[in-house]
Amino acid sequence: MNAGRTARERARAEVTREITEIARRQLGTEGAGGLNLRAIARELGMVSSAVYRYFPSRDDLLTALIIDAYNAVGEAVERADVACEPEDHAGRWRAVCHAVRDWALAHPHEYALIYGSPVPGYQAPVDTVAPAMRDTVVYGRILASAYAAGALAPPDGFPAPPDSFAGDAEAVRQVMPGLPDDLVARAIAAWTGLFGFLSFEVFGQFANVVDDRAALFDHTVDTLGRLAGLPAPARG
């Protein structure tokens, strides 16, 4: 990942970096569909065909941007998590949610790239699955840690998952070890709920409906965390 030995290798890495940087800026202003190899080449002072030396196709550039985006959220989430008291599970959950939201609002097009409609005709290669898991892994760690500490006390009155869910729960437990099936199901509901809210917000579904989205988000995060079993927030 760091500087290669030969001058050629270093130059190549530098140009590659510049291309993704310009592409990311293009993505921010035009969206995924507006990714334009020729415009990137123009901005670099190169001819379009030269860009193909670095990315064999537009989709490969997109893949690089997708991986970057996953890593950006993942890193933001990881940083927000470790900044918390390890035993303050509700605080960690809140920090993670806000990290995702802050990043999503700052980079709506990149959020759309990874959590919105898949790019037509584009099939995510395997290289993307590890970065795509980073935020989920953090989330799972929080819940597993809370459960291990006996701090997961889900509210009563909710139905239990069907027995047929046992298999999937076992798979999901890879990222949140120890949780019983019903808590796994709730964890998924809370997680998808988070992104449901954010998609509504980023994609403009709240326009003319909800004004103070930050306040509603705060409260929704608390509600979802509570649903997953995390303790209720101390604040008012």
Partner DNA sequence: ACCAAATCGAGAGCACTGCTCTTGACAGCG
Partner DNA sequence: CGCTGTCAAGAGCAGTGCTCTCGATTTGGT
State the residues that interact with DNA by CB under 7 A: 5-9, 12, 15, 35-39, 45-50, 52-54, 56-59
From a second copy, DNA, none, which one binds at residue 165 (CB under 5 to 8 Å depending on kind)?
A: a second copy
CA-based max dimension of the chain: 66
DSSP letter, residue 157: S
Nearer of residues 49 and 192 to a second copy, judged by Cβ = 192
From a second copy, DNA, none, which one binds at residue 37 (CB under 5 to 8 Å depending on kind)?
A: DNA
Nearer of residues 46 and 84 to DNA, judged by Cβ = 46
- The token pair that represents 17 in the structure block: 């970096």
List all residues 6 or more positions away from 75 whose beta carbon is below 8 Å from its beta carbon: 134
Nearer of residues 42 and 79 to DNA, judged by Cβ = 42
From a second copy, DNA, none, which one binds at residue 137 (CB under 5 to 8 Å depending on kind)?
A: none
- Indicate the burial class of 48 (C-beta count within 10 angstroms; 0-12, 13-18, 19 or more): middle
**Would you tell me which residues interact with a second copy (CB under 8 A)?**
30-34, 109, 112-113, 115-121, 124, 129, 155-159, 161-162, 164-165, 167-168, 171-172, 185-186, 188-189, 192-197, 199-200, 203-205, 208-212, 215-216, 218-220, 222-224, 226-227, 232-233, 236
- Minimum distance from CB of 172 to a second copy (Å)? 7
> What is the spatial distance between Cα 91 and Cα 137, in angstroms, rounded to a whole number?
17
- What count of other Cβ atoms lies within 10 Å of the Cβ of residue 180? 14
* Integer angstrom CA distances of residue 77 from 55, 60, 82, 123: 29, 26, 9, 25
